[in-house]
Structure 1
Amino acid sequence: MFIILFIVCIITGIILYKEPRDFIVGSIFTLSTLGVFLYLLAFLASAISIFKAPLVIIVFIGAPLAVIFFCVFLIKNGKIMRLKEGRHLANRLSLIFGVYIIFVISVTLSLLFYGEHMNKIVFKVLLLIVILSVYFGMILFIYLAYSYLYQRIHFKKKSEFIIVLGAGLNKDKVTPLLKSRLDKGIEMYNIQKNNGVKAKIIVSGGQGVDELVSEAFAMKEYLLSQNIPKEDIIMEDKSKTTYENMKFSKDIMDSLKDNYNSIFVSNNYHVFRAAIYSRKAKLKAYGVGAPTSFYFLPSALIREYIAILFIYKRINIFVILVLTSLMFLLN
């Protein structure tokens, strides 16, 4: 088994080296790498007795305490988000997620201790909830792990274009979130300049219903205030989605240059999903993440995770149907 996992890890690693934006291959790579790590850990524990006690403590004491701490952190973070960002549903995701984990733990304990006394249908429904929660929890782990890994892959080539993805405005002004993207875009621009490349910054974003100007216009104004030359700024002000950010920006770059390299800038929590859309738009680009306030990250990452589930909704619906069918068809 170890040899198989190791080979799968190497093969998927080679594929990802050539195309790191493939989430399916990235998932296989993450799981196989985790399998290799757990296998080595188990081998050490069985071969060297000194590792057994710490491993038992980690598994039976450390892991449950970590889960409890994680739930408390998410619930507390949800309250902070409500105070700082408002009462919108999106700002309550970390709180909802923390409560749901506690619910799943309670259901699991009920099945373990009272399962044999439950109605058969009720037992199967609750067991299905636990199994599906484990499945979606594994996808969350894979997403977080591979998203982090993807952002450690630094761009190596000189890039003629830097795409800064838009975000919501405060009327006609950039928000702190968008400002962080623009500041990272300026940093990338200066890096290219120091490497002898006169790059163009493409500010990409249309006008929302509650915005006085397009995101691209507000972004351009900010860049000008930071002494970026006007001739080095290109506006793309038609896009409404991340996919359109990528597609319309690609159309602009294709019209200006035949062969080019490009990078795109978004906030760190959004970079990997944006990379998936860049692949769908057939745009070869490296993703660079701008920093995000720590309190904002949990809910933002959960939103991104839900969006990833919808991108691969056919696979997820298929898995749900198969698991549900197996649960109720088998005695």
Structure 2
Amino acid sequence: MVAFLLAAVLLALFAIGAARDLRRLGNAVLLGLAVAAVAAGLLGELDRLPPGAARAAADALPAAAVLAVVAVAVLLVGNGLVMLRREGGRPVNLLPLLAGLAGLALIGLLWTAARIDSKPLHAAAAAALLVAGHLAFLLLCFLGYSALYGRLPPPRDVDFVLALGAGLDEGDRVPPLLAARLDLALALCRAQAEQGPPPVLVVSGGKGGDEQLSEAEAMARYAAEQGHPADAVLREDRSRNTEENLRFSDLLMREQRPEYRCTVVTSNFHVLRTALAARHAGVPGQVVGAPTAGWYWPGAVLREFGALLLAYPRTNAGAVLLLVLLGSTAGWRP
């Protein structure tokens, strides 16, 4: 009962935070804690089952958890190999492979520690389990809230639709990832135009060292090829990352309309981090995500999750250090 009451309180806090601003990382954590409290409450209810059923459930849950970890790890290893074949050996493309191998290594460490009477090994296993649990919880919070936020319908009465750049192929061509963003941005512009004044399309992206023109220029050309009026496009061609996309585009939009409202368009894996960055930059708008190829999505999500962890270095480093100390202490005890 206590766990369910705690879940209700956490859900109430989540609702308050979401009502204030959907673009808050705290919303994701509160929702995750509420779900965890409900799960804990349901586990507590196992005692109400008949003894045989309760024992079977208690035995099945750890086995199911191990199988789930192994399955996810194997899938990540497979996806990592696909990423390497399709995208090359850049460090960022190694993330699914490394995450999958880390999951298998954790299972191996726990299995070994359960069979060998060694205090250092038990301490290492306990510390690794706590850190892995912490990271897994945060990742599930990120995935869950990203999915929830990404399903919210975009507003239809905005002044601008801002499409974020994503690199060019062969120095001057819009790749499929960026084309999906532009297609969604253009669809939003057309949908609003059918009901009232059309929004202005803002294309944002500077020129990389290996690119022949700015991403904004390539995006504007793509929009023109799709029939979008050239005089209804604003180009932001100085930015080098998401934060600059938003900050520089905000300046352009405020020049046109100081009290503007906008919708920001990116890829579905990038929605939550973009929403957090938009809130930080003071951009008054929600974020929507374009679909991404299935084989590309896991690595992209891990990259986004890693970037969020690095955005709060002291908090996450402190949490990991504390968990390592707690796990090591608990594992060392007889």
Answer whether contact 1:158 1:195 (CA < 8 A) is retained: no
Q: Residue 37 and residue 85 in structure 1: after superposition, are their counterparts in 2 closer, same or farther (change >3 A)?
A: same
Q: Residue 165 and residue 34 in structure 1: after superposition, are their counterparts in 2 closer, same or farther (change >3 A)?
A: same
- Other-structure match for 1:95: 97
- Other-structure match for 1:135: 134
Unmatched 5+ stretches in structure 2: none
TM-score, normalised to structure 1, is 0.91
Answer whether contact 1:16 1:22 (CA < 8 A) is retained: yes
Give the Å deviation of 1:318: 1.6
Structure with more relative contact order (C-alpha pairs < 8 Å, separation 6 or more): 2
SS in structure 2 of the partner of residue 212 of structure 1: coil
The correspondence for 1:14, drawn from 6, 9, 16, is 16
TM-score, normalised to structure 2, is 0.90
Give the Å deviation of 1:206: 0.4
Q: Report how many residues are paired.
A: 327
Identity %: 29
- Other-structure match for 2:323: 323
List aligned pairs for 1:148-227, cutoff 5 A. 148-170=147-169, 171-227=171-227
Paired letter, 1:117: S
- Other-structure match for 1:291: 291
SS in structure 1 of the partner of residue 140 of structure 2: helix
Q: Does residue 78 of structure 1 match 2:80?
A: yes
Give the Å deviation of 1:174: 0.6
Unmatched 5+ stretches in structure 1: none
- CA deviations on 1:215-250 (whole Å, 9 max, x unpaired) are 000000000000100111000001111011111111
- Other-structure match for 2:25: 23
Provide the rounded CA distance (Å) in 1 between the counterparts of 2:74 and 2:239: 39
List aligned pairs for 1:233-312, cutoff 5 A. 233-312=233-312
Give the Å deviation of 1:252: 1.0
Answer whether contact 1:6 1:33 (CA < 8 A) is retained: no
Paired letter, 1:227: G
Paired letter, 2:236: E
Give the Å deviation of 1:46: 4.7
SS in structure 2 of the partner of residue 292 of structure 1: coil
Q: Which deviates more, 287-296 or 82-91?
A: 82-91
Q: Residue 133 and residue 33 in structure 1: after superposition, are their counterparts in 2 closer, same or farther (change >3 A)?
A: closer
SS in structure 2 of the partner of residue 289 of structure 1: strand
Answer whether contact 2:201 2:232 (CA < 8 A) is retained: yes
Give the Å deviation of 1:326: 4.6
Give the Å deviation of 1:177: 0.7
Provide the rounded CA distance (Å) in 1 between the counterparts of 2:33 and 2:265: 28
Answer whether contact 2:11 2:34 (CA < 8 A) is retained: yes
Provide the rounded CA distance (Å) in 2 between the counterparts of 1:113 and 1:187: 59
Give the Å deviation of 1:20: 1.2
Answer whether contact 2:70 2:103 (CA < 8 A) is retained: no
Give the Å deviation of 1:69: 1.8
Tell me the C-alpha RMSD between the 2 structures.
2.3
Q: Residue 142 and residue 54 in structure 1: after superposition, are their counterparts in 2 closer, same or farther (change >3 A)?
A: farther
